[in-house]
Amino acid sequence: MQIYEIPRNYKGESRILYVFSTKALAYTGIGALIGGIFYLLFSVLGLSMIGMIFVVAFGIIGFVIGTFKMPDSKRFKLTEKTGGEAIDDVIKRWIKFKKGKNKIYVYLKEDTKDEQ
């Protein structure tokens, strides 16, 4: 009898603190750094608590971008086309598209059904 190993998707299996994958930790850190800029600005004005709220909020936004996938829903055009893909991949593609000032031309095929 032969043994056949089924290929597995190892992407995201390296977990840090059980919640963070490597990618999610990086995005959370980047979000917290962006929030840290707001913290510095608000701490100069004497509102350091509001600055900390920005750090936490941007950290959570970074975690969501690095962890979750786009929902697969037919309700919105965006989720219909990108459903099931990672949010960061969708954002990267959008930035590349806008940076290149590209245009997309869509040719639709019309269904010609003979009604009897």
pLDDT bracket for residue 33 (50, 70, 90): very high
Question: Containing domain of residue 59, as a range?
Answer: 11-68
Q: Does 40 share its domain with 55?
A: yes
Q: Does 83 share its domain with 61?
A: no
Cα distances (angstroms) measured from residue 84 to each of 18, 71, 79: 22, 6, 8
> How many domains would you assign to the chain?
2
Residue 73 forms part of a structural domain: yes
CA–CA gap between residue 2 and residue 19 (Å, rounded): 37
The reported pLDDT for the residue numbered 57 is: 92
CA–CA gap between residue 80 and residue 91 (Å, rounded): 15
Residue 18 forms part of a structural domain: yes
| Ranges of H-type helices in 1-116 | 22-44, 48-67, 77-82, 87-99
Q: Does 53 share its domain with 82?
A: no
Residue 101 forms part of a structural domain: yes
Q: Does 83 share its domain with 96?
A: yes
Q: Are 61 and 38 in contact (CB under 8 A)?
A: no
Q: Does 58 share its domain with 102?
A: no
Whole-model pTM over 0.75: no
